[in-house]
């Protein structure tokens, strides 16, 4: 009985001896083929996913030399899975701000043994995200005219250009971080176009202030990465905000607003003006205000929708698409 | 849908959001709202038991929402970002100034820096008065209900902090401000990290202060109850802060009480405590927090807190403790550093935390190579202090030019 059970449970078809011998004979050949293939190792094939998230994120922008220095050592790349290896303890901050990839390149004097300049190039997904990180990390330092916006602190510079947040640190007084920053911006020009577009606002009046709000704009948990601008218009101050992302994410945001309005019973309606669809909100806490999705942007204005504002936004929409 | 989200959405039922609801507790909507108001010591303040801390206030509209739900006490400070301006904006719309209470601080309008941003004993009477005047301007009001000597015990020097607490210039300024109708009550707050209970007890016994605001939560604060009893006996009001004990993980018990509710109810179960202030930075915070208003502390709440304590008791650096600091040969300000880390990690105030850390005269750099670990042995709560300090240093000292 025991023998029968054992045979039933463990029994498997047995191949004829000839086939088994052939398979065994093929093993060394397979081994040789695998070895030869290994000699043609292509990191791109093996690390396709990781490189996929970092490649195309500015890694190709690095010049071979910068500020009279030569590239030193290997280019290091980090993505969302391993950023903490480079900035353990601070990775969450970048991840929460839209981080896509980081490329680290060091430069040194020709023939030198140590690098004297380090460039950290963060791709933050969206120019607005890069702006937010810059304001949080370096805002308040000495402004420098680099890229879309830049700051100098000690012997380093921090700047943004397009979706890139760039940190350049010099460890030699003779090596100018701003000079390296200017060269890096020039190099980035080759991989991005129209880097300042995301910061454009409709012309709603005289700008009085601009700030970035990383999350929970006006207490709304779904409204993050917001650029807010205050304008003086007809003697009154109004606030407007702008969020940029993909067209899908903007539509998602519109749905989040609609859900919120329903839950809080805030009356709103869609108004067609100037060929655009505005969401006009009658809000007892914010006052009357409106917003509208414009492709990859969502713009909100804390003021009642009037002809002048609609026309200004129409002009902006036309300029953005043109 | 998580239970927490369900609860949040269920309280956000359709309701008539009518701005200008008087703070009289009268329910006009189905949303969670304040159900209990308590007298603050000998003052005439009847505060909402769960009140609004505005350290991360996002807008004037949030103030108006909170008022609409019955919150009538707002704790602000000049160094809480735009908090005072937002409250001032809200007051332009909500014109019933006498229906709400505003508490601010003797403080400069600069990012927090221990021993600097909060007015010190050397400030002089004029500075104290001008600090209040500046707050009034930002707040768009002509009086503060309460002004605090803020964060007493932030420095390790007991004598210096004692001087600040009972600074004659400050007391004279407060008297004048009261006579001029610019403040109603004088108060003192403390989240330590040094001598919290000792300084607060001194404040209570001095007779100069109308209320105190200690860090107070269900984690172990062995000497706070004595202070509370003394305050009660002398008619000094008590408003609690830091009531969530670091607020680590909120999803503690899917079948039990929500952590925030349990923590609030525990604090409010102390008869000496008039109310608590908790940071409200999202609309949904109001929905969630106010559900605990007027509710009794239950066995289910106790179980939730016990679970929290079991999970995080060895991780939470008790505000106001500082017992480990004398054991540090390098004089590292342990409690301050771990508090900044809490701001960084839990409050997501990275920049503020890093700035504050940067301003410390002595930081946890010393800990990177220290093998003494006397701090670990000295911690009465068994925290791995040295490890935590190294981690804090790593998080807080991130330099763009590292």
Q: For A205-222, what is the mean pLDDT?
A: 87
Reference A281, options A297, A261, A263; nearest CA is A261
Q: Is the pLDDT of residue B400 over 60?
A: no
Cα separation, B382 vs B314, whole angstroms: 6
Reference B340, options B350, B325, B331, B326; nearest CA is B350
Higher pLDDT, A167 or A209: A167
Q: Is the pLDDT of residue B310 over 70?
A: yes
- The answer to whether B348 contacts A215, with C-beta atoms less than 8 Å apart, is yes
The answer to whether residues B197 and B229 touch, using CB atoms and an 8 Å cutoff, is: no
Question: How far does the CA of residue A110 sit from the closest CA of chain B (Å)?
Answer: 23
Residue to mutate among A84, A90, A154, A256, with most B CBs inside 10 A, is A90
Q: Is the pLDDT of residue B120 over 60?
A: yes
B347: number of Cβ within 10 Å = 17
Q: For B300-314, what is the mean pLDDT?
A: 82
pLDDT of residue B98: 96
Q: Which residues in chain B have Cβ-Cβ distances shorter than 8 Å to A263?
A: 9, 12-14
A311: number of Cβ within 10 Å = 14
Is 0.80 topped by the overall pTM?
A: no
A152's CB contacts (< 8 A; 6+ apart) are A141, A142, A143, A144, A177, A178
Q: Is the pLDDT of residue A7 over 50?
A: no
Per-residue pLDDT reduced to its tens digit, B315-361? 777 766 778 888 888 888 888 888 888 777 766 667 777 777 877 87
Task: Indicate if the alpha-carbon torsion angle B314, B315, B317, B323 is positive or negative.
Answer: positive
- Residue A75: helix, strand or coil by DSSP? strand
Q: Is the pLDDT of residue B39 over 70?
A: yes
Question: How far does the CA of residue B350 sit from the closest CA of chain A (Å)?
Answer: 8
pLDDT of residue A24: 73
If phi over 0 gives left and psi between -120 and 50 gives alpha, with beta otherwise, what is residue A66?
A: beta
Q: Is the pLDDT of residue B81 over 50?
A: yes
- Look at strands B211-214 and B237-240 and give their pairing: parallel
Cis peptide before A16, with omega less than 30 degrees from 0? no
Q: Is the pLDDT of residue A50 over 60?
A: no
Q: What confidence category does residue A198 fall into, taking pLDDT thresholds of 50, 70 and 90?
A: low
Residue A181 dihedral angles phi and psi, to the nearest 5°: -60, -45
pLDDT of residue B282: 94
Question: How far does the CA of residue B62 sit from the closest CA of chain A (Å)?
Answer: 7
Q: What confidence category does residue A34 fall into, taking pLDDT thresholds of 50, 70 and 90?
A: low
Q: Is the pLDDT of residue B257 over 60?
A: yes
Average pLDDT, chain A: 80
Per-residue pLDDT reduced to its tens digit, A102-126? 999 999 998 888 889 999 999 998 8
Whether the complex's predicted ipTM surpasses the cut of 0.90: no
A146's CB contacts (< 8 A; 6+ apart) are A157, A159, A178, A181, A182, A185
Residue showing tokens 């404040």: B203
Cα separation, A89 vs A93, whole angstroms: 9
A131: Cα separation from own chain's centroid: 10
Cα separation, B372 vs B298, whole angstroms: 44
- The answer to whether A285 contacts B284, with C-beta atoms less than 8 Å apart, is no
Q: For A250-279, what is the mean pLDDT?
A: 95
Q: For B371-393, what is the mean pLDDT?
A: 83
pLDDT of residue A13: 52
Higher pLDDT, A317 or A22: A317
Q: For A120-136, what is the mean pLDDT?
A: 85
Reference B260, options B276, B247, B242; nearest CA is B247
Q: Which residues in chain B have Cβ-Cβ distances shorter than 8 Å to A167?
A: 400-401
Residue A32 dihedral angles phi and psi, to the nearest 5°: -65, -45
Q: Is the pLDDT of residue A305 over 60?
A: yes
Q: What confidence category does residue B119 fall into, taking pLDDT thresholds of 50, 70 and 90?
A: confident
B377's CB contacts (< 8 A; 6+ apart) are B327
Sheet with strand A297-301: strands edge to edge:
A206-213, A226-233, A236-244, A297-301, A287-294, A276-283, A268-273
pLDDT of residue B10: 36
- The answer to whether A285 contacts B17, with C-beta atoms less than 8 Å apart, is yes
Of A167, A221, A260, the CB nearest to B400: A167
Q: Tell me the percentage of chain A whose pLDDT exceeds 90.
A: 37
pLDDT of residue A289: 97
Residue showing tokens 């809200």: B90
Cα separation, B147 vs B134, whole angstroms: 13
pLDDT of residue B29: 54
Per-residue pLDDT reduced to its tens digit, A219-235? 999 998 888 889 999 99
- Look at strands A149-153 and A117-123 and give their pairing: unpaired
- The answer to whether A264 contacts B12, with C-beta atoms less than 8 Å apart, is yes
Measured N-to-C along each axis, helices B196-206 and B224-233 cross at an angle, to the nearest 10 degrees, of 10
Q: Is the pLDDT of residue B115 over 80?
A: no
pLDDT of residue A43: 32
Residue showing tokens 């009893």: B229
**∠ at Cα B351 (B349, B353), nearest 5°?**
65
The answer to whether residues B16 and A284 touch, using CB atoms and an 8 Å cutoff, is: no
Question: How far does the CA of residue A31 sit from the closest CA of chain B (Å)?
Answer: 47
Residues of B with CB under 8 A from a CB of A: 9, 12-19, 58-59, 61-62, 64-65, 68, 93, 280-285, 348, 350-351, 391, 394-396, 398, 400-402
Reference B259, options B232, B219, B223; nearest CA is B219
pLDDT of residue B261: 94
The answer to whether residues A228 and A181 touch, using CB atoms and an 8 Å cutoff, is: no
Q: Is the pLDDT of residue B14 over 60?
A: no
Query: Based on the number of CB atoms within 10 Å of its own CB, is A16 exposed (0-12), middle (13-18) or buried (19 or more)?
Result: exposed
pLDDT of residue B110: 66
- The answer to whether B401 contacts A169, with C-beta atoms less than 8 Å apart, is yes
Radius of gyration of chain B, Cα coordinates, nearest whole angstrom: 20
Residues of A with CB under 8 A from a CB of B: 87-90, 93, 136-139, 153-156, 158, 167, 169, 213, 215-221, 260, 262-266, 283-287
Q: For B25-46, what is the mean pLDDT?
A: 83
């Amino acid at each position: 009985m025991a023998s029968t059970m054992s045979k039933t449970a463990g029994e498997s078809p047995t191949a004829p001896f000839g086939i088994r011998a052939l398979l065994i004979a093929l093993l060394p050949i397979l081994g040789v083929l695998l070895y030869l293939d290994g000699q043609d190792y292509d990191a791109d094939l093996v690390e396709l996913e990781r490189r996929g998230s970092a490649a195309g994120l500015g890694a190709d922008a690095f010049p071979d030399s910068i500020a009279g220095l030569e590239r030193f050592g290997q280019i290091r790349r980090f993505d969302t899975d391993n950023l903490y290896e480079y900035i353990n303890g601070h990775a969450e901050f970048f991840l929460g701000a839209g981080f896509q990839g980081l490329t680290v390149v060091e430069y040194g004097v020709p023939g030198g043994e140590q690098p004297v300049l380090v460039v950290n190039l963060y791709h933050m997904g969206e120019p607005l995200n890069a702006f937010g990180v810059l304001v949080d990390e370096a805002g308040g330092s000495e402004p420098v005219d680099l890229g879309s916006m830049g700051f100098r602190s000690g012997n380093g510079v921090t700047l943004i250009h397009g979706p890139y947040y760039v940190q350049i640190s010099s460890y030699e007084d003779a090596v100018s971080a701003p000079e390296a920053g200017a060269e890096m911006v020039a190099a980035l020009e080759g991989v991005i176009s129209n880097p300042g577009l995301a910061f454009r606002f409709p012309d709603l009046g005289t700008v009085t202030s601009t700030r970035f709000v990383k999350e929970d704009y006006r207490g709304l948990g779904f409204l993050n990465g917001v650029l807010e601008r205050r304008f003086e218009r007809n003697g009154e101050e109004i606030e407007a905000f702008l969020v940029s992302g993909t067209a899908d994410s903007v539509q998602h945001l519109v749905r989040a607003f609609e859900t919120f309005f329903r839950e809080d019973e805030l009356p709103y309606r869609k108004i067609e003006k100037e060929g655009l669809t505005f969401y006009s909100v009658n809000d007892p806490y914010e006052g009357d205000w409106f917003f509208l999705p414009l492709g990859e942007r969502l713009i909100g204005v804390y003021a009642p929708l009037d002809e002048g504002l609609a026309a200004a936004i129409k002009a902006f929409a036309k300029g953005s698409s043109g | 849908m998580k239970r927490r989200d369900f609860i949040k959405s269920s309280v956000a039922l359709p309701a008539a959001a009518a701005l200008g609801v008087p703070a009289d507790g009268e329910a006009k909507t189905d949303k969670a709202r304040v159900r209990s108001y308590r007298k603050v010591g000998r003052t005439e303040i009847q505060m909402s038991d769960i009140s609004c801390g505005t350290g991360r206030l996002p807008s004037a509209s949030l103030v108006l929402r909170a008022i609409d739900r019955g919150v009538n006490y707002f704790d602000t400070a000049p160094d809480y970002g735009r908090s005072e301006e937002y409250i001032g904006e809200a007051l332009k719309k909500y014109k019933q100034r006498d229906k709400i209470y505003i508490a601010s601080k003797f403080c400069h309008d600069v990012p927090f820096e221990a021993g600097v941003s909060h007015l010190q004993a050397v400030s002089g009477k004029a500075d104290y008065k001008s600090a209040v005047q500046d707050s009034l301007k930002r707040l768009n009001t002509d009086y503060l209900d309460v002004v605090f000597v803020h964060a007493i015990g932030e420095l390790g020097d007991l004598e210096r902090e004692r001087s600040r607490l009972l600074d004659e210039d400050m007391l004279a300024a407060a008297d004048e401000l009261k006579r001029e109708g610019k403040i109603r009550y004088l108060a003192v707050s403390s989240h330590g990290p040094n001598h919290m209970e000792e300084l607060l007890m001194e404040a209570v016994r001095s007779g100069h202060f109308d209320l105190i605001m200690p860090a107070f939560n269900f984690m172990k604060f062995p000497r706070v109850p004595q202070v509370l009893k003394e305050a009660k006996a002398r008619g000094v009001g008590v408003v609690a802060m830091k009531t969530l004990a670091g607020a680590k993980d909120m999803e503690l018990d899917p079948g039990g009480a929500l952590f925030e509710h349990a923590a609030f109810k525990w604090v409010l179960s102390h008869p000496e405590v008039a109310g608590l202030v908790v940071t409200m930075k999202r609309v949904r915070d109001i929905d969630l927090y106010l559900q605990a208003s007027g509710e009794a502390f239950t066995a289910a709440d106790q179980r939730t807190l016990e679970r929290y304590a079991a999970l995080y008791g060895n991780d939470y650096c008790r505000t106001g403790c500082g017992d480990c600091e004398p054991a540090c040969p390098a004089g590292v300000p342990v409690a301050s550093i771990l508090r900044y880390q809490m701001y960084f990690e839990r409050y997501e105030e990275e920049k503020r935390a890093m700035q504050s850390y940067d301003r410390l005269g002595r930081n946890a750099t010393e800990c990177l190579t220290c093998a003494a670990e006397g701090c670990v042995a000295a911690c009465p709560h068994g925290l791995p202090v040295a490890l935590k300090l190294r981690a804090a240093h790593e998080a807080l000292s991130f330099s763009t030019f590292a």
